Each structure stands twice: as C-alpha cells, then as structure tokens.
Amino acid sequence: MRFLVIEGNIGAGKTTLAKKMAQEFNAKLVLEQFADNPFLPKFYNDKERYSFPLELSFLADRYNQIKKQVLDLDLFHPFLIADYYFAKSAIFAQNTLKDDEYHLFRQIFDIIFESMPKPDLYVYLHADSKKLLKNIEMRGREYERNIDPEYLEKIRQGYFNFFKQITTFPILVIDTNKIDFVHNEEHFRLLKDAIFKSDYKLGINRLIL
C-alpha cells in the first residue's frame, strides 16, 4: 500500500485514527490544515458572502497538499496516510454553496479530480449522529458548537453519493458505532487488521465491527 485515506463525518475520529496508524507503521502523515484558511473566520461571520471563496481556497489547498505529498513520498516512510481526500471539497461545497455557485465549482472540481492521485484504499469511518455529536462536544471546538444532526446527515449523504460514483479505487465503509478505537487498544487492533489484512474490490465495501 502506498496511499491510504481515512475519512469520516465531522467527529468520526478520522484524524485521531490517522495519527495512530501513522505512528504504528512509521507512515508519512498528511493532515488537513483547515484552521489556517484565511477565509474561514470571514465565512463564519458572513456565510452568504464568503462561502464560494472559502470552498475555492479549500479546493486549491487540498489539491496542492495531496498531490505534492503523494509525489514526494520519501524513502524513510513506507507509505502515506491522509485524514482527508480531495473529494471532500465537492461533498462539503454541495451543502454550502448556492446551486449556480456549486455548478461552477463542480466543473472546476471535475477537471482537477481526473489528475489526482488515487488512494490504494479509502476508509470511511461511519458513526451515527448521536455518537458524532458526543465526540464533537467532547473535543470542544467553539466553531462546531452549533452543528446539528440534520447537517451531519446531509454530509453523510454527500459522502455516500460520492461513493456510488467511484469505480477506480476500493472504498471501505466501516461501521464504528460499537467500538472505541481511541481509548480501547483491542478495538484499535480490530480496526487496524480490517484495514491492512484484507483485500477489497474496487468501489464500495462494507464492514461492521
């Protein structure tokens, strides 16, 4: 495996898992730098005005980071783990932009997506809204305080709609509702084995742990 993506809805634990996996296997770790986006605070103050420039800036940042890091994989790390994939831009933009803005955004996205490195395996950590909201509350980020179950459901549906379109790399959807891979080492090993000790077909694969 050269390129592993670990994704999930807000609060699914994707960054935590990516960090644990990278440490376990001495893999190169790529984390999304969303907090550094200069449009993010402006967006929270005026979503109507700044949603489109925000999504375009995320698009450019994700493209540059993923493509550069995958191509620059060095001899000191056996493979790369990222806690997001380029397609995240389209999934979130669909819930942020007006229809005409999203149509333009999607045209740009589709052109760029064709040239993106494809992951050897794309893992999606699935959890229901109740568990996600609990995790979000525990980590206490101020800008996430007003996230509601309806928004999380829209994001989940966006991911699943994206998965149906993919035939060029394997997607593993893992139901994590009954495990706690952050605090339970046995659960972490179960998850690790599911990811690394099985082969998965192109398109969607599903697993309940």
> Which residues have a catalytic role annotated?
83
CA pair distance 121, 201, nearest whole angstrom: 10
Task: Please state, as a whole number, how many other Cβ atoms lie within 10 Å of the Cβ of residue 40.
Answer: 15
CA pair distance 197, 172, nearest whole angstrom: 13
Cα–Cα distances in angstroms (integers) from residue 126 to residues 10, 36, 153, in the given order: 10, 27, 11
Phi, psi (rounded to 5 degrees) for 38:
-70, -20
Look-up of token digits 């790399």: 169
CA pair distance 82, 166, nearest whole angstrom: 18
172-195: b or e for each residue (b if 16 or more CB lie within 10 Å)? bbbebeebebeeeeebbeebbeeb
